[in-house]
Amino acid sequence: SAVISQKPSRDICQRGTSLTIQCQVDSQVTMMFWYRQQPGQSLTLIATANQGSEATYESGFVIDKFPISRPNLTFSTLTVSNLSPEDSSIYLCSEGLATDTQYFGPGTRLTVL
Amino acid sequence: GQQLNQSPQSMFIQEGEDVSMNCTSSSIFNTWLWYKQDPGEGPVLLIALYKAGELTSNGRLTAQFGITRKDSFLNISASIPSDVGIYFCAGPLGGTSYGKLTFGQGTILTVHP
């Protein structure tokens, strides 16, 4: 499995601002994904980060709120825009080398005041 | 949508005891994954199951892919304090694009020394 790192590991932000989260993989991977884990909850897929094209969003998530970049096969960013306290969550990126097996980064814990 | 129902929600056990948790779905899954999440970390893949009826072990962990492809269980034998954490089952969304996962609600495991 690839090694995945995320920056920042945690942040506290004011409502109305935005936070950009970086995800770096130590090898080239075809597919990268972004998940959200709300407090005490399970993981929910936000979108698939596609290299060289727009991200594919799951139901309930939109590009204006969660813009995603994937400039190459090892890197992706997720921005959480116009923050509100309801956006306080852990945001995780993941990658899959084959089939359905997914490996996750350590997560970014966001608190919105 | 494809929902995974995981039980129990939480377990409190004594060190040395065996643990069993399971996951069911109304939909067929082609893959079952079991993850463990420690506090402040991303989920770590424990076991991946790819064939109905498959029984796979990873140390003290054993997981099975149900014959109907609608369920899976995870057993932990002779639990130790470091087994504490949240255990999630997961399966691929939609049965098509790999890597897009749906997760169960999680089982919180507490092990008393």
- The residue that leads in pLDDT, B112 or B92, is B112
The C-alpha atoms of residue B19 and residue A76 are separated, in whole angstroms, by 38
pLDDT in tens, B19-60: 999 999 989 988 899 999 998 899 999 999 989 999 999 999
pLDDT at A1 over 80: no
For A47, which residue in chain B has the nearest alpha carbon? B100
pLDDT of the residue at B96: 53
pLDDT in tens, A40-88: 899 999 999 988 888 999 999 999 999 999 999 999 999 999 999 999 9
What is the dihedral sign for C-alpha A56, A113, B105, B74? positive
pLDDT of the residue at A92: 97
pLDDT of the residue at A107: 96
Q: Average per-residue pLDDT in chain A?
A: 92
pLDDT at B1 over 80: no
* Paired tokens of A47: 């979108």
Those residues with Cβ within 8 angstroms of residue A2's Cβ, 6 or more apart along the chain or in another chain: A25, A26, A27, A29, A95, A97, A103
The C-alpha atoms of residue B101 and residue A104 are separated, in whole angstroms, by 12
Q: Which of these, B76, B111, B88, B96, lies nearest to B35 by C-alpha position?
A: B88
Instruction: Suggest the residue from B31, B50, B100, B108 to mutate for an interface test with chain A (most A CBs closer than 10 A).
Output: B100
pLDDT of the residue at A86: 97
pLDDT at A34 over 80: yes
pLDDT of the residue at A30: 81
At A99, the pLDDT band (50, 70, 90 cuts) reads: low
Region of poorest pLDDT, from A8-12, B27-31, B70-74: B27-31
Which residues numbered 43-62 in A keep a CB inside 8 Å of some CB on B? 43-45, 48, 58
